[in-house]
A and B are shown apart, each in its own frame.
Chain A
Amino acid sequence: MTNLSSKLSAKDVSVFYNEKKALKSVSLDLLENAVTAFIGPSGCGKSTFLRCFNRMNDVIPSARVEGEILLNGVNINTPDVDPVLLRAQVGMVFQKANPFPKSIYDNIAYGPRIHGLASHKDDLDHIVEDSLKKAGLWAEVSDRLMDQATGLSGGQQQRLCIARAIAVNPSILLMDEPCSALDPIATAVIEELIENLKQRYTIIIVTHSMQQAARISQKTAYFHLGNLVEYGDTKQIFTNPTHEQTEAYISGKIG
């Protein structure tokens, strides 16, 4: 692997829900153009941590984030940074596919429209086609772009959501258990897609599937009860974890 320079990093990040500390002083550097997997049992804070990178925790009134998140050296966790701008750079795919109840075309075109990325209808058409191609969905939907997006299958919907995220041309993609609601075949398609996407994007994926983490990620972070227990190369974590807890979780003794 080349070009693995750190672009996104977290320093002493803690998240509180009211008074409860859900994430405890986590620091890590993420690799550019690679897939980083966050694993750990439910409630360990991995999703909470993921949502720090595009400030989606702002939406939750009781949540409070402390510490620094550096995107290209700039701390994004300050009131000066507009979360709207940030989210155009850091795209997100959610656990449950959440297409807008509009046409496939409008789903993809919404982001570019609100950000003014296309000045012309042709430009917009081009962005839609390009995004759908990158998400590997173009062949399946090219002849029915005006159909309702909610009529697609679960796997297709999730790929549509990925296409929608990359239509605004982010540099980082956050994925919160994107395959948890999909069958193995649809999961395989998405995993293949992630494999292709990592050439262009820095990807962070939260997953409950150890096998998935092992298959697609280059780096893995293991969380437990709000602590970052271990962070390292995926190969090393899965074959030779340094912490007992990590080993116990990976081998299925806990979690």
Chain B
Amino acid sequence: MTDFASLSIEERTAHLKATLIKRHAKERRLKIYGLIAIGFALAFLVTLLTTVVSNGYTALQQTEIRLKLDIPVAELVDDAGMIDAKKSANFNWDGMLKKALRQEFPDVKGMMDRRKLSELLSANAGFELRQEIEAKGRIDTPSGYFWVKSSDDVDMLMKGRMSREIPEDQRRLSDVQIGWVDQLIAADAIQKVFNKSFFTKADSREPESAGILGAVVGSALALIVTVVLALPMAVMAAIYLEYFAKPGRLTDLIEVNINNLAAVPSIVFGLLGLSVFLGFFGMPRSAPLVGGMVLALMTLPTIIIATRASIRAVPSSIRDAALGIGASPMQAAMHHILPLAAPGILTGTIIGLAQALGETAPLIMIGMVAFIVDVPDGLTSPATALPVQIFIWSDSAERAFYERSSLAIVVLLMFLITMNLTAVYLRRKLERKW
């Protein structure tokens, strides 16, 4: 050690300067490490977003093929001129479409080639046309040009997601089929339009008719159950723990467990839901009600912790003031502390819900991973959730599901970003300075 007392002022200054240079260098290094870390994080984020968006944006469009149809109205309508459901059900819609397509290609002969030709159309094309017409109830223009969905393979080809370069036996479309598509292109009989059914339909075996509406509604229903269950319970639990619980071993135990619950893997909550809600109480499988209950259990600790933090952020002087003029502890909590803690509670809740919205594992355990083609119409009707839908699609073989799962991820991310921005906005707006 240098004996500073024996040094002259100049020597001491020189020594300080020398250490100062070291200290500054240290600070600069730390700053650089920080910047590198942030840079890494941003790079990953950008990579993720560009990958997802570039894979998914094509799902916004769907390829359609133009067919010249002559719908035999007489076979479909009843005496009043309206579409008869029974007659419509018996009518061979697919056959009509296939026939119309064959007329476009009169040279195609032979069973095999004809089947290959009809593979250009979506397997659901006839069904969807029938649904559309039945919904309208009548046919205004029975003959003329109709646009029907192409199969997902043609769709992929049109979007450039299927390479013409790779050998024929590794392609899902043969050279002949590609030739027909080229003919359609030349005749202007094929086009890409906005993929409406992605946003208005539920899941389907055919990628071209699969949509996310069912999953979005399922998620929304589950989240409603979650917020209705978790928010009041969590707020009450937090108030109790902050203000009414007698300190002691039991309270400590509860506290430790709540903090631990926040770290429990979500699939464990799914197992709990499976054995308790489904197994013991016999609640319906795949229901948003049960999904919401499981997610509520999972979100509960998050909201309790956030609520306790925001209750603690309310100065104790406010509580003293209320108690000092004779408010009961419950009145002090309800009239003064909760309103002041509300922004924090709200933010915590939204973040908890965003977490629940992105959760997949517990929903799989209670059967919300099922293949469901109807948009759920109630809390107990079978449903799936947005992240589970992504999981299902990303697991499918068809290339067209791949782009759809990417677009679904974009939709999910947009929901999450909206929720988090709302939380940030509310915190900024309602934040109180003491």
| A interface residues with partner B (beta carbon < 8 Å) | 54, 56, 59, 61-62, 83-88, 91-92, 94, 96, 98-101, 110-111, 114-115, 161, 164-165, 167-168
B87 an interface residue at 8 Å Cβ cutoff? no
User: Within the assembled complex, what's the spacing in Å between the Cα atoms of A96 and B318?
Assistant: 10
Q: Are B331 and A98 in contact (CB under 8 A)?
A: no
Stretch from B47-55, B124-132, B148-156, B319-327 forming part of the interface with A: B319-327
User: Within the assembled complex, what's the spacing in Å between the Cα atoms of A168 and B200?
Assistant: 61
User: Within the assembled complex, what's the spacing in Å between the Cα atoms of A62 and B247?
Assistant: 8
List, sorted by A's number, 15 A–B pairs whose CB atoms are closer than 8 Å: A56-B320, A56-B324, A59-B320, A61-B246, A61-B247, A62-B247, A86-B326, A87-B325, A92-B320, A92-B324, A94-B317, A98-B318, A110-B325, A161-B321, A168-B325
Q: Are A98 and B336 in contact (CB under 8 A)?
A: no
By a CB distance below 8 angstroms, the chain B residues around A115 are: 326
Least CB distance, B326 to chain A, in whole angstroms: 4
Q: Are A168 and B323 in contact (CB under 8 A)?
A: no
Given known A61-B247, A94-B317, A100-B321, contact A84–B340 (CB-CB < 8 A)? no
User: Within the assembled complex, what's the spacing in Å between the Cα atoms of A96 and B325?
Assistant: 16
Interface residues of B in 320-361 (CB under 8 A from A): 320-328, 331, 335-336, 340
User: Within the assembled complex, what's the spacing in Å between the Cα atoms of A165 and B321?
Assistant: 9
Closest residue of chain A to B327 (Cβ to Cβ) is: A114
By a CB distance below 8 angstroms, the chain A residues around B321 are: 94, 98-100, 161, 164
Closest residue of chain A to B320 (Cβ to Cβ) is: A94
B432 an interface residue at 8 Å Cβ cutoff? yes
Given known A56-B320, A59-B320, contact A88–B325 (CB-CB < 8 A)? yes
Instruction: Please tell me which one of the listed residues B246, B324, B432 contacts residue A54 in the complex, with CB atoms under 8 A apart.
Output: B324
User: Within the assembled complex, what's the spacing in Å between the Cα atoms of A146 and B131?
Assistant: 62
Q: Are B326 and A88 in contact (CB under 8 A)?
A: yes
Q: Are B317 and A84 in contact (CB under 8 A)?
A: no
Q: Are A110 and B317 in contact (CB under 8 A)?
A: no
Q: Are B326 and A87 in contact (CB under 8 A)?
A: yes
Least CB distance, A154 to chain B, in whole angstroms: 14
User: Within the assembled complex, what's the spacing in Å between the Cα atoms of A111 and B331?
Assistant: 11
Q: Are B324 and A87 in contact (CB under 8 A)?
A: yes
Instruction: Please tell me which one of the listed residues A85, A101, A165 contacts residue B325 in the complex, with CB atoms under 8 A apart.
Output: A165
Residue with the highest number of chain A CB atoms closer than 10 Å, among B319, B324, B328, B331:
B324
Given known A61-B246, A98-B315, A100-B318, contact A114–B331 (CB-CB < 8 A)? yes
By a CB distance below 8 angstroms, the chain B residues around A85 are: 326
User: Within the assembled complex, what's the spacing in Å between the Cα atoms of A54 and B327?
Assistant: 12
Q: 6 tightest A-B contacts by CB?
A: A98-B317, A88-B326, A87-B326, A92-B324, A111-B325, A98-B321
User: Within the assembled complex, what's the spacing in Å between the Cα atoms of A121 and B317?
Assistant: 28
By a CB distance below 8 angstroms, the chain A residues around B322 are: 100, 110
| B interface residues with partner A (beta carbon < 8 Å) | 246-247, 315, 317-328, 331, 335-336, 340, 432
Least CB distance, A47 to chain B, in whole angstroms: 12
Given known A61-B246, A94-B317, A98-B317, contact A84–B324 (CB-CB < 8 A)? no
Closest residue of chain A to B432 (Cβ to Cβ) is: A101
What secondary structure prevails in chain B residues at the interface with A? helix
Given known A84-B328, A110-B335, A114-B331, contact A59–B323 (CB-CB < 8 A)? yes
Least CB distance, B10 to chain A, in whole angstroms: 45
**Tally of contacts, chain A with chain B, CB under 8 A:** 65
By a CB distance below 8 angstroms, the chain B residues around A98 are: 315, 317-318, 320-321
User: Within the assembled complex, what's the spacing in Å between the Cα atoms of A114 and B330?
Assistant: 12
Q: Are A168 and B246 in contact (CB under 8 A)?
A: no
Least CB distance, A9 to chain B, in whole angstroms: 21
Q: Are B323 and A114 in contact (CB under 8 A)?
A: no
By a CB distance below 8 angstroms, the chain A residues around B340 are: 101
User: Within the assembled complex, what's the spacing in Å between the Cα atoms of A91 and B246?
Assistant: 26
User: Within the assembled complex, what's the spacing in Å between the Cα atoms of A98 and B325?
Assistant: 12
Q: Are B336 and A100 in contact (CB under 8 A)?
A: yes
Known A87-B326, A96-B317, A101-B340; further 6 A-B contacts with Cβ < 8 A: A56-B323, A91-B324, A92-B325, A100-B321, A100-B322, A114-B331
User: Within the assembled complex, what's the spacing in Å between the Cα atoms of A91 and B322?
Assistant: 11
User: Within the assembled complex, what's the spacing in Å between the Cα atoms of A88 and B327?
Assistant: 9
Given known A98-B315, A101-B340, A101-B432, contact A84–B320 (CB-CB < 8 A)? no
User: Within the assembled complex, what's the spacing in Å between the Cα atoms of A114 and B328?
Assistant: 9
Closest residue of chain B to A113 (Cβ to Cβ) is: B335
Residue with the highest number of chain B CB atoms closer than 10 Å, among A62, A91, A114:
A114
Given known A100-B336, A101-B340, A110-B335, contact A168–B317 (CB-CB < 8 A)? no
Least CB distance, B293 to chain A, in whole angstroms: 34
User: Within the assembled complex, what's the spacing in Å between the Cα atoms of A98 and B316?
Assistant: 9
Closest residue of chain B to A85 (Cβ to Cβ) is: B326
Least CB distance, B334 to chain A, in whole angstroms: 11
Q: Are B318 and A84 in contact (CB under 8 A)?
A: no
User: Within the assembled complex, what's the spacing in Å between the Cα atoms of A165 and B380?
Assistant: 54
Given known A61-B246, A101-B340, A110-B335, contact A164–B325 (CB-CB < 8 A)? yes
User: Within the assembled complex, what's the spacing in Å between the Cα atoms of A91 and B432?
Assistant: 27
Q: Are A87 and B320 in contact (CB under 8 A)?
A: no
By a CB distance below 8 angstroms, the chain B residues around A94 are: 317, 320-321, 324
User: Within the assembled complex, what's the spacing in Å between the Cα atoms of A101 and B432?
Assistant: 9
Closest residue of chain B to A93 (Cβ to Cβ) is: B324
User: Within the assembled complex, what's the spacing in Å between the Cα atoms of A62 and B246?
Assistant: 10
User: Within the assembled complex, what's the spacing in Å between the Cα atoms of A114 and B335?
Assistant: 10
Least CB distance, A188 to chain B, in whole angstroms: 24
Least CB distance, A162 to chain B, in whole angstroms: 11
User: Within the assembled complex, what's the spacing in Å between the Cα atoms of A114 and B331?
Assistant: 8
User: Within the assembled complex, what's the spacing in Å between the Cα atoms of A59 and B321?
Assistant: 12
Given known A101-B340, A114-B331, contact A91–B318 (CB-CB < 8 A)? no
User: Within the assembled complex, what's the spacing in Å between the Cα atoms of A114 and B317?
Assistant: 19
